[in-house]
Amino acid sequence: MKFKDLSLNQKLGLFAILLGIIALFTHDPTKATYERVDVKKFSLEINSPSKYITPMELAEKIISGTNFFVIVDLRNPNEYEKGTIPGAINLSSKDLYQNVLQRNQKIILFSEDDTKSLNAWLALKALDYKDVLVLKGGYQGWTDEVVFPKIPLDTTTAGKEKFEKMKQISSYFGGSPILISEGKAVQTQIEVQKQTPQVQKPAVSLPKPGGASKPKREGC
Whether 198 has a pLDDT exceeding 60, the answer reads no
Whether 130 has a pLDDT exceeding 90, the answer reads no
Total-model pTM: 0.69
Task: Provide CB contacts within 8 A for 146, sequence distance 6+.
Answer: 55, 56, 58, 59, 169, 170, 173, 175
Name the pLDDT band for 192 (thresholds 50, 70, 90).
very low
CA dist 12 to 16, 98, 133, 147, Å? Answer: 6, 22, 15, 31
What is the residue extent of each domain of the chain?
Answer: 1-47, 146-187
Over the stretch 28-63, which tens digit does the pLDDT of each residue have? 434 444 445 566 666 666 667 789 999 999 999 999
The DSSP bridge pattern shows strands 70-73 and 89-90 to be: parallel
Say what the pLDDT of residue 219 is: 52
Say what the pLDDT of residue 42 is: 62
